[in-house]
Amino acid sequence: MNELTLAMRSNEQICEIDRMNSVERAMKRFGDIIGSLVLMLALSPLFLVLYVLQKAFNRGPAIYSQERIGKGGKPFRIFKFRTMVLDAEKDGVPQLECDNDSRLTPLGRVLRAHHIDELPQLWNVFIGDMSFVGYRPERKYFIDKIMKENADYALLFTTRPGVTSLATINNGYTDTMEKMLRRLDMDLEYLRTRTLWMDLCIIFKTIFSI
């Protein structure tokens, strides 16, 4: 990730861009820990049901993990309930997800439609890889392509990626470079204006949109 970390801005520039101060960021992290723990416990019966359904109707693992790039430009494993066939990228070339993707399994199509496949990311939030609200983490393959168009993507690495965001709600699945760049603009605007109250509003908007 050298090419990404080299593109990151100085601390002074980061402070100018990020609206939240250190106290607010600590409160945000505390809320992430408590919220994710409570939700994992409350939703554990649903996790069990989905696991059984996955094993009953699909071959392969019920939980899918993939390397993404997070805070500091460091890779981590993101977790989801598997929604696609096992050989979704059989040629080895990363492919973007899209609406009505032919690689989706019947159960996966239902999970994706209601964003239930994202629930295992509560673990990512709990251990600190992600936050409830923040930019959606992307794969290095696509980040390299985005940064050729706009190197400001590196500014996002000053914060944790999130399960949801305004870009996630309003921009839909980013299946084109145009949508990726539009999402980046929205994520940078969030970074410049974010508050704890805004985070709460985004979470409620996400719930109602689902």
Asked which of 29-38, 104-113, 131-140, 156-165 is least confident by mean pLDDT, the reply is 104-113
* pLDDT, tens digit (0-9, with 9 covering 90-100), for 109-136: 888 888 899 999 999 999 999 999 999 9
Q: Where are the domains of the chain?
A: 2-209
Q: How far apart (Å, rounded) are the C-alpha atoms in residues 208 and 210?
A: 5
Confidence bin at 98 (pLDDT 50/70/90): low
Per-residue pLDDT band at 92 (split at 50, 70, 90): low
Tokens of 112: 């994706």
Each residue's pLDDT tens digit, 138-150: 999 999 999 999 9
What percentage of the chain carries pLDDT values higher than 70?
Answer: 86
Instruction: Please identify which residue in the block is written with the tokens 């239902």.
Output: 110
Distance CA 51, CA 39 (A): 17
| CA–CA separation, 118 and 105 (whole Å) | 16
For residues 30 and 82, the model is more confident at: 30
- Token pair listed for 187: 């994520």
Q: Is the pLDDT of residue 15 over 90?
A: no
Instruction: Encode pLDDT of 163-195 as tens digits.
Output: 999 998 887 777 788 999 999 999 999 999 999
Q: Check if the beta carbon of residue 81 is closer than 8 Å to that of residue 116.
A: yes
pTM (predicted TM-score): 0.86
Greatest distance between any 2 Cα atoms in the chain:
53
Residue 67 phi/psi, 5-degree rounding, is -75, 130
- pLDDT, greater one: 98 or 21: 21
Whole-number Å distance between alpha carbons of 43 and 60: 23
Per-residue pLDDT at 88 exceeds 90: no
H or E segment to which residue 76 belongs: strand 75-81
Classify strands 162-164 and 131-133 as parallel, antiparallel or unpaired.
parallel
Local confidence band at 7 (pLDDT 50, 70, 90 cut-offs): very low
Six token digits for residue 124: 């990512």
- Computed from CA positions of residues 184, 69, 21, 152, in that sequence, does the dihedral angle turn out positive or negative? negative
User: Residue 32: which of 125, 143, 136 has the closest Cα?
Assistant: 125
Q: In the 8-state DSSP scheme, what is residue 133?
A: E
- Considering only CA atoms, which of 200, 143, 198 is closest in space to residue 174? 143
Contact yes or no for 210/119 (Cβ under 8 A):
no
